[in-house]
Structure 1
Amino acid sequence: MTMLEVEDLNVGYGDLQVLWDVSMTIEADDDVVALVGPNGTGKTTLMKTLSGIVEPTSGRIELLGEDVSAYDADEIVSLGFVQVSEGRNLFGDMSVYENLRMGAYQHRDEFKDTLEEVYEMFPVLAERRDQDAGTLSGGEQQMLAIGRGLMAQPKLLALDEPSGALAPQLAERVFEKIEEISDDVTVLLVEQHVDRALDLADSAYLLENGRITQAGTGQEMLESDHVRDAYLSG
């Protein structure tokens, strides 16, 4: 089954076009799909478009067989596409528990069971359940952001720069959790640590200057001369 099909997607802000003819496919048997490329090339814009935050100029987005090109963000979430945005966007003055509860607003009936699953995956969130989110460490905040996304019971979880601003040891813990999550939920991973993202990925896309310039398995991309020279050198 195809989870996500993007065909000839064009996106811009006013007169500024950001994405040109972007096409990509995510299959149900993909555990992790990586989207890599330099900063400012349109990765976050693509994520926002898939999430229904930005409306495409043209093209088609099909989620689980349904055309969602003109859907609002809440409709897309209800179908199972959930994005954890760069910067986390937590409610800093609310507790860990309250942030997680906000993530489950469309699934109130299953809240307790889902909360237990998230606490099992991220024990630190159970320990900090009554602590304000804004007082957590950077790594804990990232765990909370991912946990809140999981509370929405996604079929496809999109993570935008989950290791951003984290120390290497904490970033590695995040990647370990992503691998664990991908056993049950398909993950679309946007990540600047290109080598780690491609190592996790079943399939991958390289986005440069608003266009998909290369696609293949994670291993094929790791072995690509262009990817190695441009993004893995040093």
Structure 2
Amino acid sequence: MIEVDEIDVSYGNIQVLWDLSFHISEEDSVVAIVGPNGAGKSTLLRVMSGLHPVDDGRVTAWGEDVAGMDPSEVVRQGFVHVSEERNLFGDMTVRENLEMGAYTKRAELRETMREVFELFPILEERQEQRAGSMSGGQQQMLAIGRGLMARPKILALDEPSEGLAPQITTRVFEKIEEISDEVTVLLVEQHVHKALGLAERAYLLENGEMVTEDTGAALLESEHIKQAYL
């Protein structure tokens, strides 16, 4: 579905991704990208979303070059990116935020809303509450739910456990596992143990380069992973 082929990416004169390649196929349920802060994980998602250009190389989504697409067209193709910042509309209600997520799939809004409420019952209970007044965990669930409203083929989640208490993190990962039964999840996460435990296939990104690719289980047993991240 998505091919990232030997891309170099910079911010001004500072290069952050180097000759980076990886792919996501229709058979994948969860693909994880792990690595330290500053490795380039969020930049990679921005490139895949059409929000940041490449200096060299190519990103294709369903056979089309992402460089030639508007970010909204990337969403229509089926790639939805839930950023680390969540970017909720704080003064709008939960329901209004979810409706905004369905701007490319208005005809299916009612059905998708029902599915999101089944996955996250708290959102149905709080649907008239302002998003900005919710707890961190509830806001994360709303951000994921809003992403699902676009009915993605690939849901990219950038640090979904960021700032959450351990108990809430566990609940969020349980929901991600449920989502992966229906939608391919690209999981970018510093919570290495949980991410690799969930992933069928995983990549280690360090200093802007893909260092290792393997199954999540195999990377969990890697001495490098154990020493550096666990």
Fold in common (TM above 0.5): yes
CA–CA distance in 2 between the matches of 1:35 and 1:114?
A: 28
Alignment of 1:21-170 (within 5 A): 21-170=19-168
CA–CA distance in 1 between the matches of 2:135 and 2:158?
A: 19
Specify the SS of the correspondent of 1:134. helix
CA–CA distance in 1 between the matches of 2:20 and 2:173?
A: 26
Unmatched segments (≥5 aa) in structure 2: none
Specify the SS of the correspondent of 2:68. coil
Q: Residue type of the partner of 2:182?
A: D
Alignment of 1:192-231 (within 5 A): 192-231=190-229
Q: Percent identity?
A: 61
Task: Report the CA distance between 1:71 and its aligned residue.
Answer: 1.7
CA–CA distance in 1 between the matches of 2:40 and 2:68?
A: 20
Task: Report the CA distance between 1:69 and its aligned residue.
Answer: 2.9
Q: TM-score, normalised by structure 2?
A: 0.99
Task: Report the CA distance between 1:208 and its aligned residue.
Answer: 0.3
Deviations 1:163-207 (A, max 9, x none): 100000000000000000000000000011101000000100100
**Which of 5, 8, 13 is 1:10 aligned to?**
8
Task: Report the CA distance between 1:65 and its aligned residue.
Answer: 2.2
Task: Report the CA distance between 1:67 and its aligned residue.
Answer: 2.2
Give the conservation status (yes or no) of the 8 Å contact 1:31–1:187. Answer: yes
CA–CA distance in 2 between the matches of 1:205 and 1:75?
A: 27
Specify the SS of the correspondent of 1:105. coil
User: What corresponds to 2:186 in structure 1?
Assistant: 188
Unmatched segments (≥5 aa) in structure 1: none
User: What corresponds to 1:20 in structure 2?
Assistant: 18
CA–CA distance in 2 between the matches of 1:74 and 1:91?
A: 18
CA–CA distance in 1 between the matches of 2:168 and 2:46?
A: 26
Runs of 4+ deviating beyond 3 Å: none
